Amino acid sequence: METVTAAIPASSVTVEEFIQTYANHPVYLPPRGPQLHAKNWQSEAALRMFLNNLTAEVAENPEKLVVYGGIGQAARTPQDARKIVELLLTLEEDESLLVQSGKPVGKVRTHAEAPRVLIANSNLVPHWATWEHFNNLRERGLMMYGQMTAGSWIYIGTQGILQGTYETFAACGRIHFNGDLRHRLLVTGGLGGMGGAQPLAATMAGATFLGVDVDPERIKKRLETRYLDKMTYDYREAMRLVLAAKDKGEAISVGLVGDIGDVLEQMLQDGITPDILTDQTSAHDPINGYVPNGFSLEEARQLRESDPEQYRHKSLKSMARHVGFMLELQRRGSKTFDYGNNLREFAQQGGEPNAFQINGFVPEYMRPLFCEGKGPFRWAALSGDPEDIRVTDEALKELFPENPHMINWLEQAQEKVAFQGLPCRICWLGMGEREKAGLLFNRLVREGKVKAPLVIGRDHLDCGSVASPYRETEGMLDGSDAVSDWPLLNLMANTSGGATWVSFHHGGGVGIGYSQHAGMVVLADGTDRADRCLSRVLHNDPALGIYRHADAGYETAQQNAAKFGLQI
């Protein structure tokens, strides 16, 4: 017999009243608490996470439906956002909503264990997969850019990339600095939606941090959400702060308003060589993301609107200059790596021939984790109560007492991470662990230990869901960097396994023409149906990572396939 969540009240609010209360553009608010507004918790979960992506605490520009990453949107237009809400409120358990680049286009007949929402964003036939063609379509209202978790409705604020950034910095410390980042200075550009995780990740790993961004509002947001310790407009003050902290071994973070190229040039002139150097500016989008050297934000906006081709040309030249300084600091001893924003490719196009002498972060630091099926497992408390996240944190610590790294991470996160929007958590888990965690969460809902269902998702930056030759699949052992069959297989495995919503995107992280990737979210609502779906999806999803890397010839992945009984 099907077990159902106890006493979940249905809402008497009409669709129109709901839209006025929760989704009245541009004030998007996710409902909280145990009350059901949609016809089932699967649709309700998608509804709440869609609105959570767009709430002001989370999104970079809710009025334009931009969640993060330059132009990464959750819906194409305000009218489309309203229609998505309306359809999710009325969706039956044997129907699935189709969303094409942020526009709801229809419902199809499915079944109770099928995904409630099927999403495709920014996908173009390869010959036409260029920024020029995409921008033409976007200007005509025919397409939007979904980034990774913006258009798949599972962005959880800056925390979403926090542990991945922490794992990268910690791996850099283990490889180059005997596992100790105290007395080490880490310098980077970009403190937006993705880059904003860098200061807290660096200090959690023990480093002294300097981050540079041309937009003071982005730095202020990191201060408000406790991801950053100090902010300054003055280069000399920033240097005094970080160099003094480095000498003392203090893990503090400083945000400097400025142009990252100018700052690196000045550091070279001053003879200051950071121990670690990377970048997370929005370089993946030369027009809507990166700000060319020498331009104020307003001047950049005006040129972007009046002459986008000239803007792009100046961006590429600025990226070449930027990377040139990074290469010189690398020659002087900085451990320098690309952080997957396609900066090297555009710098090369802008005239820096040696851009790819900087290695990418995945082959340098992350691939061993991918070979274990590890990646960014994240979940959200649909109740809106932070106590539910504390309950899940403690339950995971009891479930995996043999995993001190995970326990340490959760304890630090409890202390240092401020929630944005619905309370959420991220914690990297691997093959076997994800399924156990999902079933545990479902039991917590069933037993009433949390106040409403939980949703489990991940970034698309995962072990088996992305083809991105300048990021997740850079330098594959067998040369299969650009093979995108794997994310398609991931999409199909998670769809047939019963994820609650699934997505397939083009371009996230590195830009149009450079990646394809799949996303999934699965609901824990305390039911037997959820047990079945969670067990399948949270087995299949990390298994694809092991299959992908085992097939490429990685011995560790082959060993893990044998360990977990995966038949190759």
Sign of CA pseudo-dihedral 341, 345, 349, 350: positive
Which spans in 93-159 are helix H?
131-139
Output the six-digit token pair for 303. Answer: 């040129």
Tokens of 537: 């999806």
> Which position among 371, 424, 427, 463 bears the catalytic label?
427
Give the C-alpha separation, 154 to 141, whole Å: 24
- DSSP letters, 267-296, are HHHHT---SEE---SSTT-TTTT---TT--
Question: Could you give the 3-state DSSP secondary structure of residue 118?
Answer: strand
Distance, C-alpha 174 to centroid of its chain: 24
What's phi and psi for 127, nearest 5 deg?
-60, -30
Number of C-beta neighbours around residue 488 at 10 A: 15
Residue in 212, 473, 189 with CA at minimum distance from that of residue 347: 189
Say which amino acid occupies 515.
S
Cis bond before residue 26 (omega within 30° of 0): yes
> Which tokens hold the place of 15?
């669709």
Alpha-carbon torsion, ordered 382, 388, 394, 397, to 10 deg: 0
CA distances 370 to 149, 205, 431, 562, Å, are 19, 20, 10, 16
Residue linked to tokens 């229609």: 83
Active site residue 427: yes
Helix, strand, or coil here: 435?
A: helix
Q: What is the DSSP letter of 61?
A: B
Question: Could you report how far apart the first and last alpha carbons of the chain are, in Å?
Answer: 36
CA pseudo-torsion sign 390, 395, 398, 402: negative
Closest to 35 (Cα-Cα) out of 3, 59, 13: 13
Output the CA–CA distances (angstroms, integers) from residue 113 to 4, 94, 96, 136, 184, in the order listed.
Answer: 15, 8, 10, 38, 50
Q: What distance in Å separates the CA atoms of residue 103 and residue 98, rounded to the nearest whole number?
A: 8
Residue type, 1: M
CA distance 342 to 468: 10
SS3 458: strand
- Give the helix/strand (H/E) hosting 206: none
Write the Ramachandran bin of 509: left for phi over 0, alpha for psi from -120 to 50, otherwise beta: left
Q: Amino acid identity, residue 567?
A: Q
Active site residues: 427
